[in-house]
Copies of this chain bind each other. A is one copy, B any other.
Amino acid sequence: MADSPQITVTRRLLFNAAHRVHNPALSDEENQRLFGKCNNPNWHGHNYTLDVSVRGTVDPRTGYVIDLSVLKRIVQDRVVERVDHRNFNLDVDFMKGVIPTSENIVVGMWRELAPAVQPGTLVKLVLWETSNNYVEYTGE
């Protein structure tokens, strides 16, 4: 056990959004074949759950790695308010030019959050799309 323990703290946030899994470079038939009902042209949507994990040492003055109300505010400002009750294909600037799968969403969010979560280091994002599937990204 180290002198300055490294702790990972996680804040969970929720948001709701619409999307369509669609590759505009492919034909409609190919999109339908690849993505099935997820390709519905009239969209569908999800209640997403996002877990943001920050690692660092404990500040002896506060007992915190990072104040979770500060972390919540960063995540709200940087990603949640830009995607909540929005359409990932049409409304979200950091998703321009990529298919809005959970894989691509989590990478886009990493780019927005990694520079901003001081003190501490962003070490993991987990994005649940439904209660049966989720993606994780650790910056590698």
Contacts and interface: CB of A to CB of B under 8 A. Distances in A.
A27 interface: no
Main secondary structure of the interface of A (DSSP, over half): mixed
Given A8-B137, A9-B136, 7 more contacts: A9-B135, A11-B133, A21-B63, A42-B91, A44-B84, A44-B85, A68-B133
Contacts of A114: 1
A96 interface: no
A63 B98 contact: yes
A68 B102 CA distance: 11
A11 B84 contact: no
Nearest to A69: B36
In the assembly, how many copies of this chain are there? 6
A80 B103 CA distance: 25
A119 to B, nearest CB: 12
Contacts of A104: 58, 63
Interface in A1-49: 1-2, 5-14, 16-19, 21, 23, 26, 34-38, 40, 42-47
Contacts of A110: 1, 5
A12 B16 CA distance: 17
